[in-house]
Amino acid sequence: MTTLPPSVSEAIHKQRDSYLSRLFELLRIPSVSADPGFSQDVYRAAKWVAATFEGMGLKTQTVKTATHPIVLAESPHIAGAPTVLVYGHFDVQPADPLEEWISPPYDPTVRDGNIYARGATDDKGQMLTHVFSTEAWLKSHGKLPINLKFLIEGEEESGSVALAQLMSGAYNEQLGCTVEEKLACDVVVISDSSQFGPGIPAITYGLRGIISFELTLFGPKQDLHSGTFGGAVANPVNALMRVMAAFQDDYGKVLIPGFYDDVEALSETERQQWQSLPFSEDEFMQQVGIRATFGEPGYSTIERCWSRPTMDINGITGGYQGEGGKTIVPAKASAKFTCRLVPNQDPVKIANAVKQLVQVRVPQMFTYKLKVGHAASGIVVPLDSPHMAAAADAITAGFGKPPVLIRSGGSIPIVSQFKDRLGVDTLLLGWGQNDDNTHSPNEKFSVEDFQRGIVASAHLWQAMADHAQLSRTSASKDLS
């Protein structure tokens, strides 16, 4: 078990109110990356984060990109100590539908021990736990036990396009070195996921990948009277529904040809481990407000979320949507949809299969456009690394209980590139809860989870140093 220098624990305790009020400052900035109308706010959020790092005495750099800025910071180098790269994001999802928020999305409010605001848990609150723990170390102890680098971006919720370019070397000139040198580290740490449940902290060892699409069908050159023309002019909304219906059967199995070809079967061990987690189907249904769960036959709810690929329509539009009725054959119709992918599925292969299916399914009389958006592979991380052991220690110290091991259905697009380009694994240490309403109205983050996250993070830096020390000692023993 790790212990913190008493001054660090004290500092964290004393600064509780300051941490909360500074989180509120960041939450007041509506940094929606998906909507160009908010790009100045994304920029303001980047400046806030950069100023915070500078205030801590870290070497800080804001990379200007073709889209949203990326903030980098690093602590003074300690030779021989391990290096951890902390990744997070300061952008958020759109707040709509606004009328469903009990308190306004960008006016953070504490109710029943929870901070309500867009971005509270995803990811401003979780990300800041690592910033504040680092600040506590530096301010009260003068130095960190390890080397820390921060990579905080403003475009995660839109597929991390600029960061992918940074990772491929596109911004090396601004960095003043290669991205591999800049981000060189032993392991990546991300808090941008959830615990298994209240009082059940977790380490997430797998994420699904994702690929996004937008399909538009174009019919008549403008909306037409459905009495005069209906029946003789094909309706793009009707047709789009038939096209989209061809993607999935009634039971949730995806019908894109070849979709499951590279999906690996779930191991019996994993299946059994997941079965032993305390999960209630009834509570799950109640939490999301459904009468029955749904999905591929032969899989449990957890298995469906964590280990099976999907196709979901995220939004569909076309025709008249105002008050009352309007009898028309609409000019066009479109659907935004995403596939969640599991490790070993190739996003490019899936994109091609989707293109093929759309081509076959869209009736000849329509012109159509299929936009392929951002893509990322699914990942699993090894469970037997010393980093995992350090993380488990830190979580136990911060949350009072050892973590369970889980996978998650969400995606953090850049994680697979940390492995591919930097050769390092990622520790996914989620401090949130599944009912935090991420991407939904009334997003929240428990004040207590925020504080525990800061404590766990402070312990993590110490645990990383301790475990590196341990593995060096055992390595030298092996040699003798």
Q: Of these, 134, 411, 417, 462, which contacts ligand BES (CB under 6 A)?
A: 411
Contact 438, 200 (CB under 8 A): no
From residue 263, give the alpha-carbon distance in Å to each of 51, 267, 330, 342, 350.
Answer: 44, 12, 39, 7, 12
Q: Tokens 């212990």 appear where?
A: 3
Residue 410 binds: one of Mn ion, ligand BES, none (C-beta under 5 to 8 A by kind)? ligand BES
Q: Which of 136, 146, 210, 342 binds ligand BES (CB under 6 A)?
A: 210
Give least dist CB 140 to ligand BES, A: 30
In the region spanning residues 167 to 196, those forming contacts with ligand BES, defined by CB under 6 A, are 192-194
Binding segment toward ligand BES, per CB under 6 A, in 285-293, 303-311, 386-394, 409-417: 409-417
List residues bridging with 370 in a β-sheet.
215
Q: Which amino acid is at 450?
A: F
Residue 108 vs 413, nearer CB to ligand BES: 413
**Smallest distance from Mn ion to CB 204, Å:** 12
Residue 410 lies near ligand BES (rule: CB under 6 A): yes
β-sheet bridge partners, residue 110: 115
Q: How far is the CB of 287 from Mn ion (least distance, A)?
A: 18
Q: Which residues contact 63 (CB under 8 A, 6 or more apart)?
A: 69, 70, 71, 72, 166, 171, 174, 175
Rounded to a whole number of angstroms, the minimum distance from the CB of residue 414 to Mn ion is: 11
Whichever of 223 and 435 has its CB closer to Mn ion, that residue is: 435
Q: DSSP alpha helices (H): ranges in 234-376?
A: 236-245, 268-275, 281-288, 301-307, 347-361
Min. distance of Cβ 92 from Mn ion in angstroms? 8
Buried b (16+ CB within 10 A) or exposed e, 81-98: bbbbbbbbbbbbbbbeee
Minimum Å distance from CB 210 to ligand BES? 5
Residue with CB nearest ligand BES? 410
122 binds Mn ion (CB under 5 A): yes
Identify the residue among 41, 74, 91, 123 touching Mn ion (CB under 5 A).
123
Beta strand extents in 325-418 (DSSP E only): 328-329, 332-341, 367-376, 379-380, 404-406
The separation between the first and the last C-alpha atoms of the chain, rounded to the nearest angstrom, is 27
Identify the CA nearest to 379 among candidates 345, 338, 422.
345
Preceding omega of 104 cis (within 30 degrees of 0): no
Interaction of residue 374 with ligand BES, rule CB under 6 A = yes
In the list 412, 424, 429, 464, the residue contacting ligand BES (rule: CB under 6 A) is 412
Using CB under 5 A as the binding rule, whether residue 192 contacts Mn ion is answered as: yes
Residue 421 · residue 182 · CB < 8 Å: no
d(C-alpha 19, C-alpha 117), whole Å: 16
Give the total of residues touching ligand BES (CB under 6 A). Answer: 16
Which CB, 135 or 192, lies closer to ligand BES? Answer: 192
Q: Which stretch binds ligand BES (CB under 6 A): 15-23, 46-54, 305-313, 403-411?
A: 403-411
Shortest Å distance, C-beta 27 to Mn ion: 14
**How far apart are the C-alpha atoms of 42 and 155, rounded to whole Å?**
9
Given the complex with Mn ion, which of 45 and 328 has the nearer CB atom? Answer: 45
Q: Work out whether 159 is an interface residue with ligand BES (CB under 6 A).
A: yes
Taking contact as CB under 5 A, which single stretch among the options 21-29, 113-121, 184-192, 413-421 is the one that binds Mn ion?
Answer: 184-192
Is 153 among the residues that bind Mn ion (CB under 5 A)? Answer: no
Nearer to ligand BES, 74 or 443 (CB): 443
Taking CB within 5 to 8 Å according to partner kind, which of Mn ion, ligand BES, none is near residue 159? Answer: ligand BES
Element (H, E) at 416: helix 415-422
Structure tokens at 169: 């070397």
* Tokens encoding 386: 């010393």
Residue 423: CB atoms within 10 Å:
10
Binding site for Mn ion (CB under 5 A): 122-123, 192
Binding site for ligand BES (CB under 6 A): 122-123, 156-157, 159, 192-194, 207, 210, 374, 408, 410-413
